Structure 1
């Protein structure tokens, strides 16, 4: 953290237009279950973190690389609930999505952007933490 503060460039170099472009591209890739389109949204060295808190299914360890993360999402899509609704949102200050099962938040996904691509993905599935998800 100290090193990042001392560096001259921000942690995530992006703007609102870039957020919208990548949010739309990611959403289209997920909606169409297109692994290559998903890979194209992400940096080659993307890192995916998830937190189920032992109360929801989540990846136990971080996933590294666009291909690995894309395959993980394609696997999730095969098991998604039929009534899952995905809504673009700002989650904890980052662009992303809230996923609802009916009226209940199922998961929150946010991502960091760097170099015009998604560089980091954070998925929250822990129901205790989801009650406090801030989106606007």
Structure 2
């Protein structure tokens, strides 16, 4: 029995921090599958640690998770180079409390996660730890093998990069959902003008089929082009399609089902009273986390 106690203690600590560690890994990777692998690697290293020597167990676990996520992120970068078409983060069905936490909802939104994709791996790790989880520079430095001064410089550079690209407007959930309802009515109506009325002039449409399902091979920009794409593509299957409102990554989305089977998840980004971003994930390998909610937390 005495040999099992350290493992039992390690398990108790790990389980208490699991949701936080998953959120850290997911925000660094944009992939729930890879985040789960990182947690498994973190656990294997954690059970080898003498807990009596660890002053701050939460910080230590975050450090291990960050290091494993950085290793995985570099591997993923090579995978993405050969990915067919645009790469979108894996959508997560999220609980109402995520949407109600504005800071958390923004940090895991498709729009912001795509901005994070433009950062180098170490920049992304430093940005996520500092700006999202408010980790101190000493701890960040230990996690990414940099000095605190270097970590501070990296954070400053990453913050400027993200601030220049992140969405500026935060829309109340109720307002965003009203816009999405108008969008669904426009889709069902099938008219170009109805779609143009709800799409922002500079709306961006991204489709991720991963080479498995048909999707636009590159971003589609502009209300006219996006409206024609939607009207044409969905119009051919409108009698077979259903649109179910849902919440992914803390924001409004639609679950599109074709003949009753899940076809795609479309995350919708709203600014003001118009849609500025449509992120359609069709790759079946990325649709496994939308049947049950994934708990996320910043603490």
TM-score, normalised to structure 1, is 0.86
Aligned residues: 135
Partner of 1:30: 187
Q: 1:14 aligns with which of 160, 168, 171?
A: 171
Is 2:249 the partner of 1:92?
A: yes
Aligned in 2, Cα 1:124/1:135: closer, same or farther, shift over 3 Å?
farther
1:80-101 alpha-carbon deviations (Å, 9 max, x no partner)? 2643221011122221200112
Is 2:224 the partner of 1:67?
A: yes
Contact 1:50 1:125 (C-alpha < 8 Å) held by counterparts: yes
Aligned in 2, Cα 1:10/1:82: closer, same or farther, shift over 3 Å?
closer
Larger radius of gyration: 2
In structure 1, the gaps of 5 or more residues are none
How far apart are the structure 2 equivalents of 1:59 and 1:6?
A: 28
Q: 2:272 aligns with which of 104, 115, 127?
A: 115
Contact 2:242 2:260 (C-alpha < 8 Å) held by counterparts: no
Q: Which structure: greater strand fraction?
A: 1
How far apart are the structure 2 equivalents of 1:27 and 1:65?
A: 19
How far apart are the structure 1 equivalents of 2:191 and 2:277?
A: 19
How far apart are the structure 2 equivalents of 1:91 and 1:60?
A: 23
- The secondary structure found in structure 2 opposite 1:17 is helix
1:18-49 alpha-carbon deviations (Å, 9 max, x no partner)? 11210110010001102111111111001111
How far apart are the structure 1 equivalents of 2:191 and 2:263?
A: 22
Q: Which structure: greater helix fraction?
A: 2
Aligned in 2, Cα 1:78/1:103: closer, same or farther, shift over 3 Å?
closer
How far apart are the structure 2 equivalents of 1:22 and 1:127?
A: 27
